[in-house]
Amino acid sequence: MDSTPLNLLDLLIPEAIALNFTAASAEAVIRHLAAALLRQGYVRETFAEAALEREARLPTGLRLSGEIHAAIPHTDIEHVLRPAVGLATLPEPVIFRNMIDPTDVVPVRLVFLLALEQPKSQVEMLQQVATILQNPQVVSDLVTAQTLEEVRRILAQVMPAQS
Amino acid sequence: MSKPKVVLVACGTAIATSTVVAHAIEEEMKKRGINITTRQCKATEVPSLAADADLIVTTTPLPSNLGKPVIQTLAFLTGIGKEEVLKQIEEILKQ
């Protein structure tokens, strides 16, 4: 396996990017992105159910500092074949429960579905996700992006320069 | 050099969230000259690991009465209230 740190831009799978995605529920978003990762060979068939089960038990909704909130569904590494990230932006929010307080209902318009392997190799990518979440302007730009190219351009701004 | 303080970092799967949190705490405490090591675990593993920790930082709800200081925060993901949390962590680890 390549041991170089994995960048979010490298891990975002174009087929698993759903911009302006209309979904009735958080479950529909997770299923849609998980199905794309499955088709592309990044996750096992068990991944979608595992992510949904985990979301029900240990939710991943995050209230951010801006008006748009996010969620980072993920599950145990045994359901993952190769690390990958799916992204959905939603014109209408879906409901996720708050990671820190599952009684809190969070309207979410930005979803990163994380298919993760060993934590250490992904720390860079995870920090990049956190960097995005901490920047309301970037979150807002991402949610209004219309093309994959735009998404890449926005994300490139928050990637640290390669040392 | 004194023995490093142990920060137990808990989240749901011990993969994603706690990786970000542990890394952030390590960097920030290094800047402050505080010698720490972090350990990541699932929230369900905390009761069996708490004994060796000086501080527990978690992003998901934990059982109470762990006998150790607990900080529950999403600040290292969302950025909200990060400075306050870092101050809190620093104060606990300096004791």
On whether the CB atoms of residues A108 and A41 are closer than 8 A, the answer is: no
Residue with tokens 């006998």: B67
Residue B71 tokens, joined:
């900080």
* A68-86 residue pLDDT tens: 999 999 999 999 999 999 9
- Tell if the pTM clears 0.80, that is, is over it: yes
Query: Using CB atoms within 10 A of its CB, is residue A57 exposed (0-12), middle (13-18) or buried (19+)?
Result: exposed
pLDDT digits (tens, 9 = 90+) for A97-124: 999 999 999 999 999 999 998 766 678 8
Tell the residue number behind the tokens 């890394």, with chain if given.
B23
Q: How far is CA A5 from the centre of its chain?
A: 18
Instruction: Kindly state the DSSP code that residue A80 receives in the 8-state scheme.
Output: B
User: Mind listing the domains of chain A with CATH numbers?
Assistant: 8-158 (3.40.930.10)
B14 pLDDT tier (thresholds 50, 70, 90): confident
Query: Measured between alpha carbons, how far is A68 from A62 in angstroms, rounded to an integer?
Result: 10
What DSSP string runs through B14-83? Answer: SSSHHHHHHHHHHHHHHHTT--EEEEEEEGGGHHHHGGG-SEEEESS---S--SS-EEE--HHHH-TTHH
- Flag whether pLDDT at A2 surpasses 50: no
- Cβ within 8 Å of B, A 84-103: 99-102
The residues of B annotated as belonging to the active site are: 11
pLDDT at residue B86 above 70? Answer: yes
* Residue to test with chain B: of A6, A47, A60, most B Cβ within 10 A: A60
Respond yes or no on whether ipTM tops 0.95.
no
What is the DSSP pairing of strand B5-11 with strand B36-42? parallel
CA A146 → CA A13, A85, A149, B36, distances in Å?
A: 16, 18, 8, 44
Q: Give A20's DSSP letter.
A: T
B59 vs A99, A126, A135: nearest CB = A99
- Average pLDDT, rounded, for chain A: 93
